[in-house]
């Protein structure tokens, strides 16, 4: 029996279906000891997304975007987070979406992107995959101010940091976004260290 066959969903109830869908699921779980347990859990269904971190090896810099996030605010912070440019796929390929989000949010046109991961950020309760990318940039690639889209409620600032400063900001708690931490650590270990 495959791991996937150990789970059988027996009931589904939609609790909310506004911007995202919150669902209550009841399922049978075949435990490792051979017994079967009936469990209930809530799952928040979020469209898959793509995130892209810009890096400049020659100057030792990365580009992040700063924007307000209500859930971060509810956790006790100012609510303003530093993140890699990102967005929901909305039917686009991850590569096309990440290029569009980098342009929309940060104002850079990138010629190449490299996929470095697929991550489930909160697999215990959120059904959502983030496709993580890195992309080289130069100052000449900046062709718009960025800033996001008003219709999406975005009010984004573009922030260029040294890779060393960005890594210190993870340690100090100034950068808390999971996808961004993964991408910063990737470029630090695989690109900046190798150069």
Residues belonging to the binding site for Mg(2+) are 86, 101, 105, 154
Annotated binding site: 86, 101, 105, 154
Helix axes 163-172, 178-186, angle to 10 degrees: 140
User: CA triplet 188, 192, 195: central angle to 5 degrees?
Assistant: 155
Closest residue by Cα to residue 61 from 172, 137, 134: 137
Give CA–CA dist 89/21, Å, rounded. 16
Contact status, residue 20 vs residue 38, Cβ threshold 8 Å? no
């Amino acid at each position: 029996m495959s791991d996937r066959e150990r789970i059988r969903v027996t009931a589904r109830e939609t609790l909310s279906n506004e911007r995202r869908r919150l669902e209550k699921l009841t399922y049978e779980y075949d435990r490792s000891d051979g017994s079967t347990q009936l469990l209930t859990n809530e799952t928040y269904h979020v469209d898959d997304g793509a995130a892209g971190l810009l890096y400049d090896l020659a100057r030792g810099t990365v580009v992040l975007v700063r924007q307000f996030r209500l859930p971060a605010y509810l956790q006790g912070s100012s609510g303003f987070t530093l993140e890699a440019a990102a967005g929901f796929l909305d039917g686009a390929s991850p590569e096309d979406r990440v290029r569009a989000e980098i342009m929309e949010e940060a104002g850079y046109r990138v010629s190449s992107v490299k996929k470095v991961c697929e991550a489930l950020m909160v697999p215990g309760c959120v059904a959502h995959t983030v496709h993580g990318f890195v992309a080289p940039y130069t100052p000449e690639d900046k062709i718009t101010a960025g800033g996001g889209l008003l219709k999406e409620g975005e009010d984004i600032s573009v922030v260029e940091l040294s890779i060393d400063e960005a890594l210190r900001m993870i340690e100090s708690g100034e950068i808390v976004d999971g996808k961004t931490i993964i991408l910063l650590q990737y470029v630090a270990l695989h690109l900046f260290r190798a150069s």
